[in-house]
Amino acid sequence: MEAIDKIKLHLGCGEVYLEGYINIDLPRSEHNIMKVKADVYKDIRQLEYPENFVDEIRTHHMLEHFSRQEAIKILFQWRRWLKVGGVLHVETPDFETAAKKFSEADLSDKFKIARHIFGSHESSWAFHRDFWGEEKFRFVLNKLGFEIIEIKPTTAYTAKYIPDRFSKYASKILPSHVDFLDNITARARKTAALINKQEVAKEILEMSRVGKEDDILNVWLKEVA
């Protein structure tokens, strides 16, 4: 790995090795199909970096693999690692858009959309455990002390075949048999705001509470602490 001026982490890198980043993913033994290329082979939950040390954290299609409480815990961890002004770049399936399309799709497309929502299931980690979309990213990242830079929809196959500037024309440019899977990308900057971790975690997690469910909420909060 070449020396780098800034500390930039690419978490859950899979087969996409980014120069200038520390590429990190699970050990190769955890992957049944993917040919992972990384600098560090480790569960990202076991990583340790000093506070205010990292310049950028980038992750594509990983955050949705964690439960709602574990995802909040991980986001707190990433914020702690980032320097003030450091950038968080996260891409996940766009649940909001996918759910709208699912309700109007034929049976064949429903299977494909559901696969995108719930995961590919070829490995023990390849299951999606919570939803993400623009509204949730704005709410959660703001509460965690991030300033939103940009949140934009992306299409799974667009970047592979045509330039981003043509993405809105993708359905006309690409063959009709190509499947389009909706994703959402959020970029945010760490602010200097002081965050009360327990209060913020409670405010976010109680959004998923149905009725009172105080006991369930307390379990979630213990897992974030």
Query: Tell me, what's the pLDDT at 34?
Result: 84
Is pTM beyond 0.85 here?
Answer: yes
| Residue 162 near residue 118, CB atoms below 8 Å | no
Query: Tell me, what's the pLDDT at 185?
Result: 96
CA torsion angle 169 171 175 177 (round to 10): 160
Share of residues in the chain with pLDDT > 70 (%): 88
pLDDT averaged over every residue in the chain: 89
pLDDT at residue 176 is higher than 90? no
* pLDDT tens readout for residues 4-40: 589 999 999 999 999 999 999 999 888 888 889 999 9
Please return the burial class of 129, using the count of CB atoms within 10 Å of its CB with bins 0-12, 13-18 and 19+.
middle
Spell out the domains of the chain, with CATH numbers in brackets.
8-196 (3.40.50.150)
CA dist 209 → 95, 137, 153, 204, 218 (Å): 19, 18, 28, 10, 11
As a whole number, mean pLDDT of residues 185-197 equals 97
| Residue 92 near residue 74, CB atoms below 8 Å | no
| Residue 193 near residue 145, CB atoms below 8 Å | yes
Name the token pair of 159: 């970047």
| Residue 73 near residue 197, CB atoms below 8 Å | no
Beta bridge partners of 82: 54
Query: Tell me, what's the pLDDT at 157?
Result: 52
Query: Tell me, what's the pLDDT at 177?
Result: 41
Please return the burial class of 140, using the count of CB atoms within 10 Å of its CB with bins 0-12, 13-18 and 19+.
buried
- Look up residue 204 and give its amino acid: I
* pLDDT tens readout for residues 120-167: 999 999 999 999 999 999 999 999 999 999 999 987 653 444 344 444
DSSP for the chain, written as a single string: ----SS-EEEET-TT-PPTTSEEEE--GGG-SS-----SEES-GGG----TT-EEEEEEES-GGGS-HHHHHHHHHHHHHHEEEEEEEEEEEE-HHHHHHHHHH--HHHHHHHHHHHH---SSTT----S---HHHHHHHHHHTTEEEEEEEEEETTHHHHS-GGGGGGHHHHS-TT----EEEEEEEEE------HHHHHHHHHGGG--SS-HHHHHHHHHHH-
